Amino acid sequence: MQEVSAISGNSVPADEPKLNYINNGHTLKSWLLTKDHKRIALMYLVSVSAFFLMGGIYAGFIRLELLTPASDLLETATYNKVFTQHGILMVFFFLIPAIPAILGNFLLPLMIGAKDLALPRINLLSLYIYWIGGIITLWALMQGGVDTGWTFYTPYSTTFSNSYVMAVGIGVFINGFSSILTGLNFIVSIHTMRAPGMTWFRLPLFVWAHYATSLVMILGTPVVAITILLVAIERFARIGIFDPAIGGDPILFQHLFWFYSHPAVYIMILPGMGVISEVIAGFSRKRIFGYEFVAFSSIAIAVFGFLVWGHHMFVSGQSIFAGLVFSFLSMVVAVPSAIKTFNWTATMYKGSISYDTPMLYAIGFLGLFLIGGLTGLFLGSVGLTVHLTDTYFVVAHFHYVMVGGQVIAYLAGIHYWWPKMTGRMYSEFWGKISAMLIFVGFNLTFFPQFILGYMGMPRRYASYPEELQVLNIFSTAGASVLGFGLVMPVVYLIHSLFYGKKAADNPWMHPGLEWRTSSPPPTENFKEMPVVTWEAYDFGEESGLDLEDARKREAVTI
Amino acid sequence: MTAHGDTHEHHEPGLQHQFEDMHQQEESVSIGMWAFLAQEIMFFGGLFTAYLVFRWRFPMAFAAGSNHLDEFMGGLNTLVLIVSSLTMALTVYYAQKGNRTLQVVMIVLTMLFGATFLGVKAIEYTDKYNHGLVPVTGWNKKVKEDVSAPHVTEQDCTQVGHGDGDDHYVNPKGEFQWKDCSLVKLAQDHNYLTEDEKIGYFTNGEIDANKFRDKVRLFYYIYFVMTGLHALHMIIGLGVMLWLLWKAWIGTFGPKYYAPVEISGLYWHFVDIVWIFLFPLLYLLGRHFLH
Ligand SMILES: [Cu+2]
């Protein structure tokens, strides 16, 4: 710690504690009524982590139940609730807000050189809406929960399910507006709050990814909101448009639901892709390969993502023709993701790569996302999917994208920007260990599920034939490793808050604007309005980085 | 690209801390409002989709339901909203001119028209409540059977005419009531029925009054959800106008600062436009089947 402050004495004065966004006001009110995007991001971090923990506990119960072929740990009805609640908490309260509301909120204004998001009060409102939606959902879960699956399929959810569908629906409905407001804020901010010289094509790809995400949030979320509202009304009023007994149409629900929920998987992966672009370019110390392609592939994903929802309904009786069109479009939407993957790999080629913790996560992401994406093509082809629909193959596929993709990217991002967010360095050693444990544990958990699914094990059942037990034991064993790996960062990151080395303003020596203010940043983000004169990911002298200083620092910190 | 000036020492009235100048602030709130309206379009879009799907499937039931809406009331409300859009636009105009008095007058007028709209809507809803047209069981006026009245024999539903049976209306449980399926007969005779209708209105080849009632009930369900959500937007709009009225009263707005009036106006116009779509879809389409 002394060494660091000795070298970077100009940026981190040891004597007087600088006023930053964390120590600028200590009262509870100064947090709850803050308009500072960084404080809101931190409160999101705590709340989202709490939901992640709960969702994770449910996941643990699922894996424990599936350790043996019989349904012995949980009753089947309880099991239905457990996997439903795992899905609802993870999707709506963790995956969707995780990167945008935490990292996006914190970093977007810093990256574009703004004092705050354009609409700070709306930003705070989105947090409160998230809390209200979350509390209603939690209340419903404590009352007895839901058993419909996170997809709320009708007519089971509207007519037959004997659980708290309405309350959970209302919670999810309300929560949707938190994500709408976040997206709205990002779009406005990216349009109007960029610092002088920060042109569209100098924006970090993280910002482009968030722009695309915000488009989906604004255009998709309201559709699922109204749909879930209709389900809630239908349950409450005992009349509605999804009940086939009176001429309603349960398939209409699936159309409306997936019109949002397919694009929503891009809400859950695009921000992760943004993080990966930053980390890979940064730790390869190389301008990202094909910047424009990566930027526009995000927009392409957001646009084409709205045209492929029918691939969730290949077996629900939609016409063969519709099936073929949706299948074709699903192949098309894979192209922009492939472009990104190629470009990340090409960025690493001949880069000067350093394997810090964030980079380890990012490399893990490349492999896992590749598997997740390619198995998506299996499921997108009309013929093959008939065999695979509603099996563990699907479960494995979306966990490779959602966990292998988004959660890993989220962890990469948290580790990458932790020094900026908290002003502390975590232990590299434990960081690397946990990154590797998570990678191993994840694969051990979910790879067997591809095989299980291909062998025909259906999802959402508490019991299964005995010959499938060995692979299920692998999966549960992997889940324990994964769970352990996920708890480790919580421990060493919290530890770092109190005992970690003080972080320099730019510990990785990266050129982005967020690294050109102090760690943690002051409330107004920059002492004076930054003027951008360099291109994005410019690791050369023109970016104004002192490379000599960078080398010296590397010698000390490693 | 927004041009940033140097950091202002003196703050312009209404300039928030995160912005450099008024231009940037106005641009931000205006883009924000447009993005919000895009969100609203998708929100109502889900409902319009549902409407279209079922109108396509059961045109006769929808026409029948449509015929029981009061087109005079609907038309009156359309007029009221269009005029309120005018007064709203004038509010923005006078705010830009800095004319406090006329600003306040126009806001009050807009609110009056908004309240009128809601009043007319309330009258319509009450009418539906009295006639057993609310699709939720128990939410209609409960009318006990009058034992002393002469017993009326059940009519064939194709014979029930428009407005028949009002004098011996009975609805003890407050259920949705629909007796008239003359339209189905008409469409059957002219070979108008869609494939869905041939299944949806019939039991063993006979017109089934209950099955037809359920389809009309779907229409009323969609009617109440759509107009209800629209009315909710109107109520929120009135709240916004109240806030605007107070701000205008204390003379906040002028040529330099009128963005809140402008974006409130955008919202108000949007809610009007939604009604401009709702009115023909719910009240007018299919009326010609009876007239
Ligand atoms: Cu999909």
pLDDT 10s digits, A390-420:
999 999 999 999 999 999 999 999 999 999 9
Smallest CA–CA distance, residue B194 to chain A, in Å, is 14
Q: Element (H or E) spanning B18, and its range?
A: none
Q: Are A239 and B217 within 8 A, CB to CB? A: yes
Give residue A205's pLDDT band: very low, low, confident or very high (50, 70, 90). very high
Nearest to A150 by CA among A216, A93, A219: A93
Contact A252 B47 (CB under 8 A): no
Distance CA B218, CA A251 (A): 16
Q: Say whether pLDDT at B152 is over 70.
A: no
Scan residues 500-529 of A and list those with Cβ closer than 8 Å to B.
Answer: 528-529
Residue B233, by phi and psi: left (phi above 0), alpha (psi -120 to 50) or beta?
Answer: alpha
B chain contacts of residue A237, beta-carbon cutoff 8 Å: 135-136, 221
Q: Are B18 and B252 a contacting pair, CB within 8 Å?
A: no
- How close does chain B come to A491, measured CA to CA in Å? 35
Statement: residue A254 has pLDDT above 60: yes
Quote the ligand 1 centre to A421 CA distance (angstroms). 34
CA of B61: which chain A residue's CA is closest?
A247
How confident is the model over A58-103, as pLDDT tens digits?
Answer: 999 999 999 999 988 898 999 999 999 999 999 999 999 999 999 9
Out of B24, B39, B218, whose CB is closest to A241? B218
* pLDDT digit string, tens, across residues B234-268: 999 999 999 999 999 998 898 888 899 999 999 99
pLDDT, greater one: B35 or A14: B35
Nearest to A331 by CA among A377, A370, A383: A377
pLDDT category of residue B4 using cuts at 50, 70 and 90 = very low
Q: How far apart are CA A186 and CA A212, in angstroms?
A: 10
CA distance A163 to A144: 7
Question: What does the alpha-carbon distance between residue B136 and residue B138 come to, in Å, rounded to a whole number?
Answer: 6
Q: CA-to-CA distance for A119 and A354, rounded, in angstroms?
A: 38
Query: Taking 80 as the threshold, does the pLDDT of residue A250 lie above it?
Result: yes
CB B78 within 8 A of CB B275: yes
| Cα separation, A127 vs A141, whole angstroms | 21
Domains detected in chain B:
23-138+214-290 (1.20.120.80)
Residue A109: name the closest of A216, A198, A217 by CA. Answer: A198
Distance A258 CA to ligand 1 centre (A): 7
Q: Is the Cβ of A246 closer than 8 Å to some Cβ of chain B?
A: yes
Closest CA to A225 of B54, B237, B223, B47: B47
CB A488 within 8 A of CB A441: no
Which tokens belong to B69? 């809406």
User: What does the pLDDT look like over A318-371, one tens digit per residue?
Assistant: 888 999 999 999 999 999 999 999 999 999 999 889 999 999 999 999 999 999
Cβ density class A296-325: b for 16+ within 10 Å, e for less: ebbbbbbbbbbbbbbbbbbeeebeeeebee
Local structure of residue A61 (DSSP, 8 states): H
pLDDT of residue B161: 57
If one counts every other C-beta atom within 10 angstroms of the C-beta of residue B11, the result is 9
- Measured N-to-C along each axis, helices A37-65 and A469-499 cross at an angle, to the nearest 10 degrees, of 150
Confidence of residue A248 (pLDDT cuts 50, 70, 90): confident
CA A242 and chain centroid, separation = 31
Position A546 scores a pLDDT of 63
Whether the per-residue pLDDT at B90 is higher than 60: the answer is: yes
| Structural domains for chain A | 2-557 (1.20.210.10)
Contact B252, B19 (CB under 8 A): no
Whether pLDDT at B9 is above 50: no
Q: Looking at A268-272, A380-384, A494-498, which range is the least confident one? A: A380-384
Q: Enter the ipTM.
A: 0.89
Identity of the amino acid at A26: H
Q: Where are the alpha helices (DSSP H) in A144-249?
A: 165-192, 205-237
pLDDT band at B172 (very low <50, low <70, confident <90, very high): confident
Of A185, A199, A241, the CB nearest to B222: A241
| Nearby residues of B119 by Cβ (< 8 Å), 6 or more positions away | none
Can you give the pLDDT at residue A169? 92
Residues 6 or more apart whose CB falls under 8 angstroms from that of A247 comprise B54, B57, B58, B196, B200, B211, B214, B215, B218
Find all residues with CB under 8 Å of A244, minimum gap 6, and list them: A155, A250
B4: left (phi over 0), alpha (psi -120 to 50) or beta: beta
Rounded (5°) CA angle B133-A245-B163: 25
Nearest of A210, A31, A261 to residue A103 by alpha carbon: A210
